[in-house]
């Protein structure tokens, strides 16, 4: 679901004029059946006492004056305009009504929920809410079912509604609706990637997921496994999403590779939809990828273009074999946790914390391959991906916790694990999240990132392998297996202590005030 301002700005000063447009034929006669589906006052709906007024010559003017009544009565002026206009849109594939639309009942429920979520509704006593109306047009010119919300920002008590950072709040609500109704997913706010465009949503009507979602996952998997740029290109060359091949092409500037774009070849003759790596997620841009890889030899510059363009075969750069390296991964993660705790203890720089969270998100994304069906690790990854995004202007720090990067590459090369080994790895990941959560509380990490890492930590602590008594029994068994395999392993006793002393209380908010 997409929430957007249809015009250049989302504020206006003419409520009546906007209503006349919404109930009119539209710019291209696309308004085939405009009608009200929700309102602050149900008397303006189809069964209400004011319903017939709309069909009269001055009916829309009366509705406009009623919406503006609180503003007029309190004699309030709103800087920038009092009319708040938002369109809520879904692609045709997400319709669940026989007529091809969401249906008026569902749109009414969603409109009322959105108004409450955004803080435009009344208080607990039913007083002081904004006046608003939701107009359903049906399908747009692009085939998307949608409604328009028209809201006067002056509340019933004369106060002006708060619209600070409204679009991230809209995005959060849209994501929650997508999850609840199981409709096409769009980008979460603050995750460093863009929302799906209209062409992407149109493709999603048949694919079930947008190209951006599929390509983001595919490129993330390649990034996690690659140790340098040549191997990244080689893995992209082999990457597939279901039955679709991943296409790639470099952006060459001044004779050098400055970026790249990717697309899906579905084999159905459709034109590929190309997306820049940086538009998938900010950390998937080529400069950010190069910052995480080993520094290439100086000769790489002369080979980069022929490698990216296919003049030099890439098969020599990649080993496709999958190995049972889970014990090796477990040892790497134990070392990575020690290294990460030491690194964070020696630094108070939030940018280094964000990069450590980014590496942890990469590891979690790889581990989600082995979670069936997708559940908690997928949610943990989403929270980590949002927490990892550094505020704009923060410089790229030197590599943080290289052992964590190496552990991610090992995980990407692993085959399907035994349950006990996956449980041990989840517990070690839990320890890493705990270290990141502790640093966020102790240092000047921005509030929203602290909340996101706390949410990720709380989500993982309810994982069956960490929370339940049965899970702790499983982990004790894992410890015994690991001890038998290598009694001198340094993390064995630490793993035993973590299991024995983890009380696994119910998840509680970890964001504490200083």
Q: Tens-of-pLDDT digits for all 514 residues of the chain?
A: 677 776 555 689 999 999 998 988 877 666 778 889 999 998 898 878 888 888 788 889 999 999 999 999 999 999 989 999 999 988 765 654 444 457 788 899 899 999 999 999 988 777 889 999 999 886 776 667 889 999 999 999 999 999 988 888 888 888 888 878 777 766 555 555 555 555 555 555 444 567 887 888 889 888 888 888 988 999 999 898 878 899 999 999 888 899 999 999 887 777 888 888 888 887 788 988 888 776 565 667 788 899 999 888 877 777 666 666 788 888 888 888 888 888 888 777 778 888 888 889 888 888 888 876 557 888 888 888 888 877 655 566 566 678 888 888 888 888 877 777 788 888 888 889 988 988 888 877 878 788 888 888 888 888 876 765 334 444 454 444 444 444 434 444 444 444 444 444 333 333 333 3
In terms of DSSP bridges, do strands 145-152 and 83-90 run parallel, antiparallel, or are they unpaired? antiparallel
Q: What is the DSSP letter of 389?
A: P
Report which of 214, 213, 219, 217 is spatially closest to residue 237, judged by C-alpha positions: 219
Characterise 138 by phi-psi region: left (phi > 0), alpha (psi -120 to 50), beta (else): left
CB 308 within 8 A of CB 233: yes
CB 227 within 8 A of CB 318: no
- DSSP one-letter string for 43-63: GGSTTSTTGGGGGSTTHHHHH
Residue-level pLDDT at 508: 35
Which H/E stretch holds residue 303? helix 300-309
Q: What is the DSSP letter of 315?
A: G
Task: Give the per-residue SS3 of 150-203.
Answer: EEECECCCCCECCCCCHHHHHHHHHHHHHHHHCCCCCCCCCCCCCCCCHHHHHH
Residue-level pLDDT at 74: 93
Q: What is the DSSP letter of 25?
A: -
Residue-level pLDDT at 490: 41
CB 149 within 8 A of CB 115: yes
Q: Which domains does the chain have, with CATH numbers?
A: 2-181 (3.30.930), 198-317 (no CATH), 326-501 (no CATH)
Q: CB under 8 Å, gap of 24 or more: what pairs does 75-81 form?
A: 76/154, 76/158, 76/160, 78/11, 78/153, 78/154, 78/160, 80/11, 81/9, 81/11, 81/12, 81/13
Give backbone dihedrals phi and psi of 35, rounded to 5 degrees, phi first.
-155, 160
Helices (H), 321-468: 326-345, 350-367, 376-387, 402-412, 419-442, 447-461, 464-467
Question: What's the gap between Cα 224 and its chain centre?
Answer: 18
Nearest-angstrom CA–CA distance, 475 and 496: 8
Query: Token digits for 271?
Result: 């034109």
- Secondary structure class of 417 (helix, strand, coil): coil
Residue-level pLDDT at 148: 93
> Bridge partners of 145?
90, 139
- Secondary structure class of 108 (helix, strand, coil): helix
């Amino acid at each position: 679901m997409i929430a957007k301002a249809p015009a250049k700005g989302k504020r206006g000063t003419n409520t009546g004029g906007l209503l006349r447009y919404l109930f009119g034929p539209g710019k291209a006669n696309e308004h085939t059946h405009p009608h009200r589906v929700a309102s602050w006052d149900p008397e303006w709906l189809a069964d209400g006492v004011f319903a017939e007024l709309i069909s009269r010559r001055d009916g829309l003017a009366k509705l406009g004056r009623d919406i503006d009544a609180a503003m007029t009565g309190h004699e309030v002026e709103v800087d920038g305009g009092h009319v708040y206009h938002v369109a809520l849109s879904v692609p045709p594939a997400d319709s669940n009504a026989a007529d091809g639309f969401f249906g008026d009942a569902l749109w009414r429920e969603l409109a009322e929920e959105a108004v409450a979520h955004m803080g435009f509704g009344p208080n607990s006593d039913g007083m002081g809410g904004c006046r608003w109306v939701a107009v359903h047009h049906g399908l747009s010119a692009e085939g998307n079912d949608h409604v328009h919300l028209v809201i006067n920002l002056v509340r019933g008590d004369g106060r002006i509604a708060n619209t600070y950072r409204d679009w991230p709040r809209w995005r959060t609500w849209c994501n929650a609706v997508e999850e609840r109704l199981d409709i096409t997913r769009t980008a979460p706010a603050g995750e460093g990637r863009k929302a799906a465009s209209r062409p992407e949503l149109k493709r999603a009507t048949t694919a079930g997921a947008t190209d951006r979602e599929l390509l983001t996952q595919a490129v993330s998997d390649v990034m996690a496994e690659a140790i340098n740029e040549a191997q990244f290109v080689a893995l992209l060359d082999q990457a597939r999403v279901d039955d679709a091949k991943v296409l790639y092409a470099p952006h060459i500037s001044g004779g050098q590779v400055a970026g790249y774009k990717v697309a899906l070849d579905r084999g159905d003759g459709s034109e590929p939809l190309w997306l820049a790596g940086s538009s998938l997620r900010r950390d998937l841009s080529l400069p950010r990828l190069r910052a995480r890889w080993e520094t290439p030899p100086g000769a790489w510059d002369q080979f980069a273009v022929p490698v990216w363009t296919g003049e030099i075969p890439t098969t020599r750069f990649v080993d496709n074999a999958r190995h049972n390296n889970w014990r090796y991964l477990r040892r790497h993660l134990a070392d990575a946790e020690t290294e990460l705790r030491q690194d964070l203890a020696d630094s108070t720089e939030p940018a280094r914390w964000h990069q450590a969270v980014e590496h942890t998100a990469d590891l979690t994304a790889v581990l989600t391959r082995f979670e069936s069906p997708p559940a908690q690790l997928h949610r943990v990854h989403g929270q980590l991906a949002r927490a990892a995004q550094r505020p704009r202007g923060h410089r790229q720090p030197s590599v943080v916790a290289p052992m964590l990067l190496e552990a991610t590459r090992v995980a990407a090369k692993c085959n399907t694990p035994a349950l006990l080994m996956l449980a041990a790895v989840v517990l070690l990941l839990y320890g890493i999240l705990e270290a990141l959560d502790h640093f966020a509380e102790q240092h000047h990490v921005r509030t929203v990132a602290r909340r996101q890492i706390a949410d990720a930590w709380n989500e993982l602590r309810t994982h069956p392998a960490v929370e339940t008594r049965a899970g702790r029994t499983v982990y004790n068994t894992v410890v015994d297996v690991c001890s038998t395999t290598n009694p001198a392993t340094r993390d064995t006793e630490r793993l035993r202590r973590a299991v024995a002393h983890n009380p696994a209380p119910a998840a509680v908010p970890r964001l504490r005030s200083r």
